[in-house]
């Protein structure tokens, strides 16, 4: 009955373990990163919020694309996943012009080979959501690539399938979240293949760690937008004069409490489920 978990990988804020030949355990910690540095202070329940949100979206997008979720653990922070052959692509969809998409547009008028209209401002909504894949960097930042480079990595037919699926997933979630007051500016997916070669959505889905969440009521294009979840942390770090290199600063109790409340608010707004109900029984997000 008891199982032996073998640790296989660490992300910045998550851990991956092997359960058996077919299954992995993906555990979301309460660690938080900002400006690419993991901070020494944890945000209580952040891991549960992110796992619950991913599971919620996996349950609601099953008809658009099968996913790796097999079961939620009773602690609400760990997910049993189907083990897949992962594709060597970070599958980014952008609905708004932010981050590296904005930087590329300023330099070249394009982002990942998509020619954009002139005169766009930072954080503007794009005419259409764009698929902007990047390579998986083992160190440093993922590198944006164009469709030709991405197709060379996975094959032209698989590339077309991944693009079509990623755009469909983004359109579904962005429309759903916007109606609840959250703009999903962009998001990153990872896909894998099952034993039959079927495309399967893996990793996490539409969490604030894999996506830019913006509060819709504060949306004001023409500059950077406040982050739904991390703005207190960023503002606090800016007051400290920290140089944004390791090690990061400890967070104050007020910043921890405010940030935890924002994660819980994102969970409750998007799922329309009380976070306490999720903690009592994580399977409520799957209904």
Site residues, ligand Q0Z (CB under 6 A): 9-11, 14-16, 24, 26, 68, 81-84, 86, 192, 202-203
The secondary structure of residue 55, as a DSSP letter, is H
* Torsion over CA: 164, 152, 209, 142 (sign): negative
Minimum distance, C-beta of residue 79 to ligand Q0Z, in the bound complex (Å): 9
12 vs 234 by CB, closer to ligand Q0Z: 12
CA angle 147, 12, 238 (to 5 degrees): 95
Minimum distance, C-beta of residue 45 to ligand Q0Z, in the bound complex (Å): 19
In the block, which residue shows the tokens 């083992």? 138
Minimum distance, C-beta of residue 88 to ligand Q0Z, in the bound complex (Å): 11
List residues bridging with 91 in a β-sheet: 189
33 vs 231 by CB, closer to ligand Q0Z: 33
Minimum distance, C-beta of residue 75 to ligand Q0Z, in the bound complex (Å): 17
CA distance 216 to 268: 16
- The residue number with the shortest CB distance to ligand Q0Z is 9
87 vs 98 by CB, closer to ligand Q0Z: 87
Minimum distance, C-beta of residue 23 to ligand Q0Z, in the bound complex (Å): 9
CA distances from 87 to 135, 149, 203, 216 (A): 10, 14, 12, 33
Token couple for 179 = 């109606």
31 vs 212 by CB, closer to ligand Q0Z: 31
CA distance 259 to 82: 32
161 vs 178 by CB, closer to ligand Q0Z: 161
């Amino acid at each position: 009955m008891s199982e032996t978990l073998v640790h296989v990988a660490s992300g910045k804020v998550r851990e991956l373990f092997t359960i058996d030949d077919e299954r992995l355990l993906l555990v979301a910690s309460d660690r938080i990163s900002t400006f690419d540095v993991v901070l020494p202070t944890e945000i209580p329940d952040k891991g549960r919020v992110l796992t619950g949100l991913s599971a919620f979206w996996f349950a609601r997008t099953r008809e658009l694309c099968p996913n790796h979720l097999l079961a939620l653990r009773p602690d609400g922070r760990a997910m049993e996943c189907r083990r897949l052959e992962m594709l060597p692509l970070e599958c980014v969809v952008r609905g708004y012009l932010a981050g590296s998409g904005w930087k590329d547009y300023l330099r070249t008028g394009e982002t990942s080979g998509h020619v954009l209209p002139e005169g766009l401002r930072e954080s503007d909504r794009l005419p259409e959501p764009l698929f902007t894949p990047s390579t998986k960097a083992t160190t440093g930042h993922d590198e944006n690539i164009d469709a030709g480079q991405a197709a060379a990595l996975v094959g032209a037919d698989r590339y077309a399938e991944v693009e079509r699926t990623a755009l469909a997933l983004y359109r579904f979630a962005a429309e759903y979240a916007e109606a609840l007051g959250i703009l999903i500016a962009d998001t990153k997916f990872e896909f894998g293949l099952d034993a039959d070669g079927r495309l399967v959505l893996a990793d996490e889905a539409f969490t604030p760690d894999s996506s830019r969440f913006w509060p819709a009521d504060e949306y004001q294009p023409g500059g950077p937008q406040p982050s739904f979840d991390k703005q207190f942390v960023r503002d606090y770090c800016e007051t400290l004069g920290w140089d944004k290199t390791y090690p990061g600063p400890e967070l104050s109790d007020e910043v921890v409490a405010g940030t935890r409340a924002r994660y819980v608010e994102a969970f409750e707004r998007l799922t329309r489920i009380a976070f306490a109900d999720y903690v009592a029984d994580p399977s409520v997000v799957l209904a």
